[in-house]
Amino acid sequence: MGKSETMLELARKNKLDFEWIKKVAETEGVDAEKLIRLIAKGEVIVPKNTKRECIPKPVGRLVSTKVNANVGTSVDYVNVEEEVEKAVVAEKSGADFIMDLSTAGDLNKIRRKIMNSINVPFGTVPIYQAARMAKVVVDMSEDDFFKAVEVQAKDGVDFMTIHAGVNWISVERLLRSNRLLGVVSRGGAITIGWMIHNEKENPYYKDFDYLLEILREYDVTVSLGDALRPGCIYDASDRAKYMEFIVLGELVEKCRNAGVQAMVEGPGHVPIDEIETSVKAMKYLCKNAPLYLLGPLVTDIAAGYDHIAAAIGGAVAGMYGADLICYVTPSEHLALPTVDDVREGVIAAKIAAHAADLVKDGQRERARAIDYEMSLARKDFNWEKQFRLSIDPKKARKIWERRKSKSEACSMCGDMCAIKIVKQALEEAGKSRNS
C-alpha cells in the first residue's frame, strides 16, 4: 500500500494490493473485484491504522455481519489485567472488533496494553481521554478534543467513535423533546454538557475538516457516534435521533471526500417493529455507509439478560442491513462486566450475526451451508462435528457431557429420540421395499 494514500483512495484507483484483497475476499466468500468496488464506494470499510498490523475485518454490504466487544476500566473499578483478559477472551470467543472504553487509570498505558494483546481491529472513544485532560470535564479546551485523537491515532488505533454529529440544531431538538432518559451516550453526554456549559458548538462538528486531517494521516476509520441515541423504548425513534442522522449523513460525505473510511453508529433501544424503519432510514440518510448498531435492545426490562434482548434486536437489525453488532453483556445497566459476562455477550451477539447472515445477500449460501452441516451431524449423531460447528463448542460439549445418554442420542429423550425412531423406521421401510 502506498504510504500517503488511504485504503479508500487506493481502492478508488484500484491500487490495493491484489494478493491481500484476494485473501480478504476469500475469507468472506465474496468476489475480490466486487469487494474493491464496495470499498471504493465506502459501502464496505476495512478499519486498519497504518501503524498497526491486524486481521482485516471488512464491514458492510455482502460481507459477513461482524461483532464488536467493549472492554475497559471504570472510575469504580480499575483492574488492567482483567480488562486485558476480557479482550483476549472476547477475541477467542469470536469478536471481530474490540474497543477500549476505559475512563479511569493510566489511559495511555491501558490502551496500549489491551491493543497489544489482541489481533483484531482495535477501537476507542477519544473524548473519554480528552475529558480527563482537564480537572472538570466541561473545562477541557477545544484543543483537548483533538489532542486525544492525535495521541491515539499515533498509537495505532484502527477506528474511533467520534460524536461529531451532535450540533446545536440537534441539541435544540433534544431540549424541546419530552425524552424520558435524555442522553445515554457517555461520549454524547460529555460533548453536549461541554457545549451547553461553554455555549459553544461541538468542536468535532465545527472543525470536522481538521479532525479528518488527523484521521487521514494514519488512515484511521471514523465511527460516527450517535450521541442522541434513545436509551429506552419510550424514547425510541424521536426527532432528535433522526435530526442527528441527517447530520451524520452529511459527515459521511465529507469523510469520503477526504479519503477517510466511515461507518455510522445507531441506537440503542428500539421496539422490534421500528427496527426496519430505523435501519433503512439510517442507511438511506448515510449513503449506505456501514452501520454499527449498539444492540438494539428490544425491551427495557431484561436486566441480567440484556445480552438476549440485544441479540434479538441485533438479528432483526442485521436482517434489514446492520453490518456490525456491538455486543451487550448480562451486566448491561447493572455493573462493569466480568470476564464471563464478556464471553456470554460475544456469543449472544455472534448468534445474532449468524442469524442475520442466513438471510444476507452475499452470505446466505455460505451461512446456510454451515447450518446444513450441523443438521447432518445431528442426523448422524456426530457429536464431535456438532461441537465443532457450534458457536460455543466448549459450552455445548460441557452440557452434553453433564448428562450423557446411554444411547447414541442425547439424554433429552434417550431411546425415545425422534430422529432415531424415524431414521430406523425409514431404513427398515427402505429394506423391505428393496427385498
For residue 412, state whether it binds ligand SF4 (rule: CB under 6 A). yes
What distance in Å separates the CA atoms of residue 378 and residue 166, rounded to the nearest whole number? 51
What distance in Å separates the CA atoms of residue 59 and residue 97, rounded to the nearest whole number? 10
For residue 181, state whether it binds ligand SF4 (rule: CB under 6 A). no
Report in angstroms how near the CB of residue 378 gets to ligand SF4 at its nearest.
Answer: 6
Give the chain's length: 435
If phi over 0 gives left and psi between -120 and 50 gives alpha, with beta otherwise, what is residue 175? alpha
The interface region with ligand SF4, picked from 2-10, 297-305, 327-335, 415-423 by CB under 6 A, is 415-423
The single-letter code of the amino acid at 323 is D
Which C-beta is closer to ligand SF4: that of 374 or that of 419?
Answer: 419
> Which helix H or strand E contains 281, and what residues bound it?
helix 272-285
Which C-beta is closer to ligand SF4: that of 35 or that of 409?
Answer: 409
Report in angstroms how near the CB of residue 382 gets to ligand SF4 at its nearest.
Answer: 11
For residue 422, state whether it binds ligand SF4 (rule: CB under 6 A). no
The interface region with ligand SF4, picked from 14-22, 90-98, 340-348, 413-421 by CB under 6 A, is 413-421
Report in angstroms how near the CB of residue 398 gets to ligand SF4 at its nearest.
Answer: 16
What distance in Å separates the CA atoms of residue 352 and residue 359, rounded to the nearest whole number? 12
What distance in Å separates the CA atoms of residue 182 and residue 32, rounded to the nearest whole number? 44
Of residues 242, 370, 419, 423, which one binds ligand SF4 by CB under 6 A?
Answer: 419
Report in angstroms how near the CB of residue 346 gets to ligand SF4 at its nearest.
Answer: 26
What distance in Å separates the CA atoms of residue 82 and residue 61, rounded to the nearest whole number? 35
Q: Which contacts of 302-311 are long-range, i.e. CB under 8 A and separated by 24 or more positions?
A: 303/333, 303/334, 304/330, 304/334, 305/330, 306/330, 306/332, 306/333, 307/332, 307/344, 307/345, 307/348, 307/349, 308/348, 310/348, 310/349, 310/352, 311/348, 311/349, 311/351, 311/352
Which C-beta is closer to ligand SF4: that of 104 or that of 413?
Answer: 413
For residue 258, give the nearest of 164, 348, 166 by alpha carbon: 164
Which C-beta is closer to ligand SF4: that of 254 or that of 378?
Answer: 378
The interface region with ligand SF4, picked from 65-73, 342-350, 368-376, 411-419 by CB under 6 A, is 411-419
Report in angstroms how near the CB of residue 305 gets to ligand SF4 at its nearest.
Answer: 24
Report in angstroms how near the CB of residue 430 gets to ligand SF4 at its nearest.
Answer: 20
Which residues are CB-neighbours of 253 under 8 A, at least 6 positions away? 287
Report in angstroms how near the CB of residue 188 gets to ligand SF4 at its nearest.
Answer: 46
Report in angstroms how near the CB of residue 132 gets to ligand SF4 at its nearest.
Answer: 53
For residue 409, state whether it binds ligand SF4 (rule: CB under 6 A). yes
For residue 418, state whether it binds ligand SF4 (rule: CB under 6 A). yes
What distance in Å separates the CA atoms of residue 409 and residue 407, rounded to the nearest whole number? 5
The interface region with ligand SF4, picked from 45-53, 336-344, 393-401, 412-420 by CB under 6 A, is 412-420
CB 328 within 8 A of CB 313: no
For residue 417, state whether it binds ligand SF4 (rule: CB under 6 A). yes
Of residues 217, 370, 413, 423, which one binds ligand SF4 by CB under 6 A?
Answer: 413
Number of residues that bind ligand SF4 (CB under 6 A): 7
If phi over 0 gives left and psi between -120 and 50 gives alpha, with beta otherwise, what is residue 199? left
Q: Which residues bind ligand SF4 (CB under 6 A)?
A: 409-410, 412-413, 417-419
